[in-house]
Chain A
Amino acid sequence: MIGRALAFGFAGLLAGCAPADDRPEIVVQRFFGECGAAYGESTDVAAADTECGILTTLINRFEAENPDIRVKVNVVAWPGYPQLAAQIAAGDPPDLVTMHQSVISDYAGAGLIEPVEPLLAAARIDPAAFTPAARAGVEKEGRLYAMPWDTIGRLWHINTALMAEAGLMRGGKPVLPNSPEELLAHARQFRERTSKPYLIQAQVSAPDFHVALLYTYLLAQDAVIFPDARHIRLDTPQARAIVTVLRQLNAEGLTTLNQDFPAATAAFIQGEGGIFPVGTWMLGPYDAEAARSNSPLHGNYAVAPFPRLWGEEASFVDGHAWIVPAARRSPAERAAMARFLGFLAKYNYDWSRTGQLPAFAQVVESPAFRALPHRADIAALARTGKQLPGYVERQSAVQGLIGEELEAAITGAKPVDTALKDAERRVNRLYAQMM
């Protein structure tokens, strides 16, 4: 009886989902979150906000403008690389995938993704149009393995009202530290006067957060992090100094503790701390928040590249790109993919409204981009931004390992030098295991 009822329902369900469709199909896989509730049907790109909102709207619009192409969208949990690996191993990878530029060399080195020059040519995208940073991010061994989509860096997002209360504003601009000692001094002064933490930091389930800090200040000192493709160097005086300061901030309660990204993101809006060192991608949302009249952030938002603390001004930058997993595809599918890439390239300005720097030089120079708020303050990033050497692989796993050890060091679960030694050992062993 039940069996029959179930079988009946089963058959009904199967019958219900077998539409015949001979349009070419492209599978687009992305992270950036799921926001179907707010943007599920929107096609007005100019009206969309946030990475998720803009990209969802872009894809909706592409579908509307190209009814002859079937688009399937996979939204994967950030950063989605384990799932991509599983898909490639399953022999059924998607067609276009968002990937961090720092991760591309893994896949390119293993022959898992295709060079994209033919697709770019079909989409009439001239690689010479990429910014130098974007091009460096996608070029491996002389081949282009992706269409760059932006350059991302870390910024200090600053609550100027709290900074004023702490006596850390001069001439309408926040006073930022110029040395690690000054950083601690500012943080203590801030804590004393506002009784709030100076920094808001995502320290839970956010391994890349501290890694970006560490990389930035190591690169600022021209320290060699990766002497070659198979080794990392972290057990150094420079690294110890940086992590010790981070540990000190935690130990003295000069930063928020125990927050993950969502919590830290919200904490900044609610004015629970002075400075949130997070990526360019929050510039757009925070600026929108600062424009809302009943927001605690209203009129009190400023942004700056990471201050120089050690060495010279520098910032570890990365970027997003669209890669193509190696697979057999029909000419019709490839044409559809090229059309999709060309469409995305056309909207690079809209993407830069998120706060990321555009990947196309022409957009960076455009008056429209220049007119966006705060972009003058962060333009330096394009000049001072540094990427890791092109031969460095496994950044996703490596940053996971380093982040885990840093987390232990910064929360005090492990002494700083033990954590750095462990991180170095674990990363080197990962490299030794690589085939």
Chain B
Amino acid sequence: MHLIEVNNISKIYNGKRTKVTAIKHMDFHIDDGEFVGIMGQSGSGKSTLLSIIGGLNKPSDGEVLIDTLDVYGLSSEQRTDLRSEYIGIIFQSFQLIPYLTVDENVKLPMAVAGIKEKKQKEMADSVIEKVGLSDKKTMLPDQLSGGEQERVAIARAIVNNPPILLADEPTGNLDSQTSSEIMDLLHDLNKKGQTVIMVTHNENMLKNATRIIRVQDGLCVN
């Protein structure tokens, strides 16, 4: 039994006059504890694939199973609950809430997970320490560097301890030194048991990945 099964999915965007096929008949699986890289050029369909795996973007065809659960057989609200429980997402360009502090941004997923405030504080403090931002808890995102914002985004994605971590170009906006630190952090998380699926166009970032899925023109090419 695989943690994630992607069965023959396709995604077609219907424009007013044109149809764009972003994903064509993709078929693969990911096992528990893997660090999988999804590589491809800009516009190849890798981000679309990640959003489909994350339950955010319904495929035009095919199915995605997480822990044998048909993700798109669920209602929209059930998928929201699935994301809350199973999936942590690290977005491209950090995507922090600008009017919330580091601490508040990290606690966000717990605000709707029914976790008591004392427990929330313990969990948030623990992940903020893990990403090395304990001294910046009360700062707003725009008071942080790019690398620090990325760390907050990672802390937010892992605070609920989800088994799956999806990362969309997490190093895309960072210098090489910071990128390397972020990759070390993701590998640490992977070693501690989290399955990481990371989208990037930079192969150097995937040196330690257990597997790489190459995407080109909406197709898996290996």
Partners in one complex: no
Give me the interface of A with B, judged by CB distance under 8 Å: none
